[in-house]
Structure 1
Amino acid sequence: MKNYKMILQYDGTKYNGWQKQKNTDKTIQGKLEAILEKLTGEAIEVHGSGRTDMGVHAIGQVANAKLNFDGTAKQLQQYINDYLPKDIVVYSIDEMPMRFHSRLNAVRKTYCYRIHLSPVRNVFERNYIWNYGKPLNISQMKQAAIYLIGEHDFLPFCDQKKMKKSSVRIIERIDWEETEQECKIFFQGNGFLYHMVRKIVGTLVEIGEGKKNPDLIQEILETGNRELVSGIAPAEGLCLMSVEYE
């Protein structure tokens, strides 16, 4: 038996997220496991570095699976890609030590959220960007985002009201790329809670609209008051860019 690390790219538009579900085969994990079970004749569990939501994309999702396969890693990659739909691809695959786990060993993840600012919709990018359609005060958003840097309890920005494990995470940096047409926000940290990035973006956008003050972020983190958090930003603007390991 060998342990394989896969780097995946996928367009999440047509899928119900990463995690397999009993009532649908429209999940990334489900597609991969079905192909590997067909190859080996055995039940195979594919572990992802994280569970991207319905409609969220990935350029650098990492997964691993343990299976019996006599061929090379390149041959395994080719087999999987031959059976995957066109909106999912195994970009690379490598044999790893048996103890490697894509989620448990991850030390850093980077997400990108894209916001389209022009009132004219971007038709060809519509599945990969929030077609917001109005200008934002990016400087106010940047000022607010400073409060997010560091170690905090991000439970107010999570859609799970109760968690068995700690909701404390570290955001190491937030980077920005701006044009007249688009704003990209890059979040890098040691982990992210359910809907965390999208709820942060939703709140930052309301600050950029002038509806709320930048120091609201500080108040949310200090008080843990969920009611101060704005609505969730659409899934299509979010993409998992990379997962890093030591």
Structure 2
Amino acid sequence: MSRGRRIRLVLGYDGSGFHGFARQEGLRTVQGVLEDELRRMLGVDILVEGSGRTDRGVHARAQVVHFDLPYGPPADRMVHVLRRRLPADLLPRDAGEVDEGFHARFSVVRKTYRYTLDLAPLPSLYWYRFSWHHPEPLDLAAMQEAARHLLGEHDFTSFCAAEARQRDKVRRIDRVEFRQDGSRLHIEFEGNGFLQYMVRILVGTLVKVGRGQERPDRIPLILEARDRRLAGETAPPHGLCLWNVEYPPEYGGKVIDLADDL
């Protein structure tokens, strides 16, 4: 069968009801739901490739996928068609046709993840599925000092799952930014790639610093040790969101540039 057209689709989803992005037999996943719906639409199997695999319970504002269509609706109609067919917790946001050189994963230049902490005394009825409730006070200045040590290229073995599949643990972080919105504290990490649980462990470590249980100047030592036991806890998945994905200029740069909408 002819490959046809390559479609790039930007998705948002509430990860609460998904067992992660990647298809798993017998479990509800983002890839599985999308592939099943494309099969019902077109009558043929369509392989969906994602920019990365979010874990169970992790959300996305701008996950990017691509797939090849032998036929079907034009790209500018794809969002409208899929919005009518997909469940409410899986939202197609943008679609376009790209050349065969584009790959949702391998063409990525950098990604942005956002982690949200809710620092209010009581958890929010509206944010409890999208934030880690942490009512104890945190030393924000100490957390910012610790975060500066994470910038640049490092081996992040200490800050990833012990069972992480990637052999090369070297990644580059270009930006760590703290944004306060009322009782919520958003921490954004932008870099060229992230290991399994990496952002959640970084957040757990920064929170440990904020509690006064770890010194900011120990971050370089933890990095050098390459020992997961020295870093902080793994923060809960529901506070994490894949916020944006960036591609080379010929593919449009950052895929979404909207005001905060979560």
Q: Which TM-score bucket, shorter chain as reference?
A: over 0.9
Distance 1:157 1:66 in 2: 36
Distance 1:36 1:179 in 2: 38
Partner of 2:18 in structure 1?
15
Partner of 1:131 in structure 2?
133
The residue matched to 1:35 in structure 2 has which SS?
Answer: helix
Structure 2 matches for 1:157-236, cutoff 5 A? 157-161=159-163, 163-179=165-181, 181-236=183-238
Amino acid at match of 1:150: G
Amino acid at match of 1:64: H
Aligned residues of 1:32 and 1:80 also touching (Cα < 8 A) = no
Amino acid at match of 1:112: R
User: Which stretch shifts more, 216-225 or 175-184?
Assistant: 175-184
The one of 93, 101, 104 aligned to 1:102:
104
Partner of 1:57 in structure 2?
59
Aligned residues of 2:161 and 2:228 also touching (Cα < 8 A) = no
Aligned residues of 1:130 and 1:234 also touching (Cα < 8 A) = yes
Identity, % of aligned positions: 39
User: Which stretch shifts more, 65-74 or 33-42?
Assistant: 65-74
Partner of 1:39 in structure 2?
41
Shift of 1:228: 0.6
Amino acid at match of 1:146: R
Structure 2 matches for 1:63-74, cutoff 5 A? 63-74=65-76
Amino acid at match of 1:189: G
Aligned residues of 1:13 and 1:127 also touching (Cα < 8 A) = yes
1:111–1:164 Cα change, 3 Å: closer
Aligned residues: 245
The residue matched to 2:149 in structure 1 has which SS?
Answer: helix
Give me the CA root mean square deviation: 1.3
Is 1:28–2:22 an aligned residue pair?
no
Distance 1:217 1:10 in 2: 33
Partner of 1:93 in structure 2?
95
Which structure 1 residue ranges, 5 or more long, are not aligned?
none
Aligned residues of 1:118 and 1:135 also touching (Cα < 8 A) = no
Amino acid at match of 1:80: L
Amino acid at match of 1:18: F
The residue matched to 2:109 in structure 1 has which SS?
Answer: strand
Aligned residues of 1:171 and 1:189 also touching (Cα < 8 A) = yes
Distance 2:231 2:62 in 1: 29
1:101–1:227 Cα change, 3 Å: same
Structure 2 matches for 1:145-164, cutoff 5 A? 145-161=147-163, 163-164=165-166
Shift of 1:162: 5.8
Aligned residues of 2:117 and 2:134 also touching (Cα < 8 A) = yes
Distance 1:180 1:65 in 2: 40
Is 1:3–2:6 an aligned residue pair?
yes
Shift of 1:77: 2.4
The one of 69, 82, 85 aligned to 2:84:
82
- What TM-score does the superposition give when structure 2 sets the normalisation length? 0.90
Residues 179-209 of structure 1, C-alpha deviations (whole Å, 9 max, x = no match): 5612111100001000000001001101100
Distance 1:8 1:163 in 2: 25
Shift of 1:226: 1.5
Distance 2:235 2:183 in 1: 18
